Structure 1
Amino acid sequence: MTGFFAILKKISILADDTTIALKHTSSILSDDIAVTAEQSSSFRASRELPAIWSITKGSFLNKLIILPIVFLLSAFLPSVIIPILIMGGVYLSYEGFEKVHAYIFPHNEDSKDKAELTDEEVLVQEKENIKDAVVTDFVLSIEIV
Structure 2
Amino acid sequence: MPGSSLLTLLDDITTILDDVATFTKVATQKTAGVLGDDLALNAQQVTGVKASRELPVVWAVFKGSMINKTILVPAALAISAFAPWGITPLLVLGGLFLCYEGVEKLAHKFLHPKAEIEAHKAKLAAAVVDPTVDLVALERDKIKGAIKTDLILSAEIIVIALGTVSSEPFVTRVGVLIGIAVLITVGVYGLVAGIVKLDDVGLYLTRREGEGRLVDVAHRVGRFLVSAAPYLMKFLSIAGTAAMFLVGGGILTHGIPPLHHVLEQATAWATGVGAFAGWVTPQLLNALTGVLAGAIVLALVTLVGKLRPAKPNPTQP
For 2:117, the equivalent position in structure 1 comes to 110
Aligned residue identity for 1:83 = P
Q: Which has the higher contact order (CA 8 A, sep 6+)?
A: 1
Task: Show the 5 A alignment for 1:1-145.
Answer: 17=18, 19-20=21-22, 23=25, 26=28, 34-42=37-45, 43=47, 44=49, 45-107=51-113, 108-112=115-119, 113=122, 114-117=124-127, 118=130, 119-120=133-134, 122-123=138-139, 126-127=142-143, 129-145=145-161
1:72 to partner: Cα distance:
2.0
- Note the C-alpha offset of 1:21: 5.7
Rounded to whole Å, the distance in 1 between the matches of 2:36 and 2:106 is: 21
* CA shift for structure 1 position 78: 0.8
* Deviations 1:10-37 (CA, angstroms, capped at 9, x unpaired): 9xx87x9274165157459865675244
Is the 1:74–1:81 contact (alpha carbons within 8 Å) kept by the matching residues of 2?
yes
Q: Shift of residue 141 of structure 1? A: 2.5
- Superposed CA RMSD: 3.5
Name the SS for the 2:22 alignment partner.
helix
Q: Distance in 2 between matches of 1:141 and 1:28?
A: 9
TM-score (norm 1): 0.66
8 Å Cα contact 1:54/1:130 also seen in 2: no
Higher alpha-carbon Rg: 2
Amino acid in structure 1 at the alignment position of 2:101: E
When structure 1 is superposed on structure 2, of 65-74 and 34-43 the one drifting more is 34-43
User: Normalising by structure 2, what TM-score?
Assistant: 0.34
CA contact (8 A) 1:59 1:134 kept: yes
Q: 1:124–1:59: structure 2 CA closer, same or farther, 3 Å change rule?
A: closer
Question: Alignment partner of 1:68: what SS?
Answer: helix
Partner Cα separation in structure 1 for residue 156 and residue 29 of structure 2: 10
Cα distance between partner residues in 1 of 2:97 and 2:151:
10
My pick for the range that moved more, 108-117 or 54-63, is 108-117
How many residue pairs match? The answer is 133
Contact 1:66 1:142 (8 Å CA) reproduced: yes
Distance 1:92 1:37 in 2: 14
Report Cα offsets for 1:67-102 as digits up to 9, x if no partner.
222222212211111111122222222222221122
Give the CA deviation at 1:136. Answer: 2.9
Segment of structure 1 superposing worse, 48-57 or 105-114: 105-114
Return closer, same or farther for 1:131/1:63 CA change in 2, 3 Å cut-off. Answer: closer
Stretches of structure 1 lacking an aligned partner (at least 5 in a row): 1-9
